[in-house]
């Protein structure tokens, strides 16, 4: 009876020792920090959201082209004008017959002074005093005197009915030599027949 009791005591002591050892091992295991896990999850979600946003292409808006309206050019030449002034050298009577013309205005006036080599524009206002309409095949042409650097022939640029006026402009250059210079011109019909004479006189300064 005494021997059985000692064995039982040893066994019970061993069981208690093992239980204490197991309890110590379990206590040494680290505990998980719940707050740290939440922070880690939040940071991971933020990084994933940033990467997803960077991976998506940025939408660009294509501008719609605007329509521009270009107005049609307006005519600057007025073929029919009222008479303004008459140059002294162009007061000859209008030619008779079917075709007739008369210079009723001239700019610049006769005997206007220019420097040698100076450029200027002569504008004649011609009235159709005949009974035919001048076609675009009618023209004026340098005839004699000083050409003053002008082109030899200038065509009428639109039909001119009887009783209406037309302006014709001719670019000229004053010669180098001083003194009075006269340039004589004629107007021709479509067949090349001259039917009116006129001229421009200038003074070249020394």
Domain that holds residue 195: 88-204
Q: How many domains does the chain have?
A: 1
In a domain, 139, yes or no: yes
pLDDT for res 17? 60
User: CA-CA distance, 122 to 109, in Å (whole number)?
Assistant: 9
Give the residue with greater pLDDT, 78 vs 143. 143
Residue 172 has pLDDT above 70, yes or no: yes
Q: What tens digit of pLDDT does each residue of 124-143 get?
A: 999 999 999 999 999 999 99
pLDDT for res 23? 53
Q: What tens digit of pLDDT does each residue of 8-66 get?
A: 556 566 666 655 555 544 544 445 555 555 555 445 445 454 544 445 555 555 555 55
User: CA-CA distance, 3 to 197, in Å (whole number)?
Assistant: 169
Residue 7 has pLDDT above 50, yes or no: yes
* Secondary structure in 3-state letters for 103-158: EEEEECCCCEEECCCCEEEEEEEEEECCCCCECCCCEEEEEEECCCCCCCEEECCC
- Alpha-carbon separation of residue 1 from 4, 5, 12, 15 (angstroms): 5, 7, 17, 22
In a domain, 191, yes or no: yes
In a domain, 146, yes or no: yes
In a domain, 9, yes or no: no
In a domain, 6, yes or no: no
In a domain, 37, yes or no: no
C-alpha 125, offset from chain centre: 35
In a domain, 63, yes or no: no
The arithmetic mean of pLDDT across residues 198-203, rounded, is 98
Give the residue with greater pLDDT, 152 vs 60. 152
In a domain, 92, yes or no: yes
In CATH, what number is assigned to the domain containing residue 174?
2.60.40.10
pLDDT for res 66? 54
Indicate yes or no: pTM above 0.85. no
- Alpha-carbon separation of residue 100 from 87, 107, 162 (angstroms): 18, 21, 9
Residue 193 has pLDDT above 60, yes or no: yes
């Amino acid at each position: 009876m005494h021997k059985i009791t000692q064995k039982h005591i040893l066994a019970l002591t061993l069981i208690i020792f093992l239980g204490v050892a197991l309890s110590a091992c379990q206590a040494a295991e680290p505990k998980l920090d719940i707050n740290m896990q939440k922070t880690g999850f939040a940071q991971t979600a933020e990084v994933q959201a940033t990467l997803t946003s960077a991976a998506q292409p940025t939408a660009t808006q294509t501008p719609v082209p605007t329509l521009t309206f270009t107005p049609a050019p307006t005519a600057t030449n007025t073929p029919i004008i009222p008479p303004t002034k008459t140059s002294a050298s162009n007061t000859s009577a209008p030619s008779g017959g079917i075709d007739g013309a008369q210079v009723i205005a001239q700019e610049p006036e006769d005997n206007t002074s220019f420097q040698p080599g100076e450029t200027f524009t002569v504008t004649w206002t011609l009235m159709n005093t005949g009974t035919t309409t001048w076609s675009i095949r009618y023209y004026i042409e340098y005839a004699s005197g000083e050409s003053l650097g002008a082109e030899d022939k200038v065509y009428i640029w639109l039909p001119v009915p009887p009783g209406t006026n037309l302006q014709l402009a001719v670019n000229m250059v004053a010669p180098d030599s001083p003194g009075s210079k006269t340039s004589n011109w004629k107007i021709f019909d479509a067949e090349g027949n001259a039917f009116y004479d006129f001229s421009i006189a200038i003074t070249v300064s020394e």
